[in-house]
Structure 1
Amino acid sequence: MAAVDPEIIAALGTESFQEEFRGPCYSGRFNEDQWEEEFEKIPLFMKKAPSEIDPLKNPELACLQSIIFDDERSPEEQAKIYKNEGNDYFKEKDYKKAVTSYTEGLKKKCADPNLNAVLHTNRAAAQYYMGNFRSALNDAMAARKRKPCHLKAIVRGALCHLELKNYAEAVNWCDDGLQIDSREKTLLEVRAKADKLKRTEQRDMRKAKLKEKKEQNTNKALLQTIKARKVKLVTEAANEEEDSASAGLCKLLNGLSFQNSYGARPSVDDQGRLSWPVLFLYPEYAQSDFISAFHEDSRFIDHLVEMFDELPPWDLEQKYYAGNLEVYFEDEEREELYQVPPKSTLRQVLQHPRCFVKDLTPSFLVCVESSLFSKRYFQARNVQ
Structure 2
Amino acid sequence: MFWKFTLFETKLLLQNRKSWFIAAFLLAFFVLFFMYYSQDQPEPLDDQKRTETQTSYAVFEHLDLLRHDLPEVAEVYNYHTQIQSLLGMQVWFIGSGHDSEQYIENGLEINQLRLKVHDIGNAGIPNHLIVPKEDILKEDALLHYIKDNELPIEPDSYSTNHYITNALSMFSGLLFLVIVLISGSEMLLYERNHQSVMKGFPLSFIGKVTSKIMIHFVHIYTFLLVGFSLGAIYMLRKFEAGDFSFPILVYKNSNYIAVSTGQYLLYMFLGLALITLLLLSLSILLNMLFKNAFANILIGLGIFILPDIAMAAGLKASFLHPIKFIDMYKVLSGDLATELGNSFIDYWNAMAILGIITIVIISIIYAINKFAYHRVPKNMPLEKAF
Name which structure has the greater RCO, CA cutoff 8 Å, separation 6+: 2
Structure 1 or 2: larger strand share? Answer: 1
Structure 1 or 2: larger helix share? Answer: 2
Shorter-chain TM-score bucket reads under 0.3
Structure with larger Rg = 1
Q: Compute the TM-score of the two structures, normalised by the length of structure 1.
A: 0.20
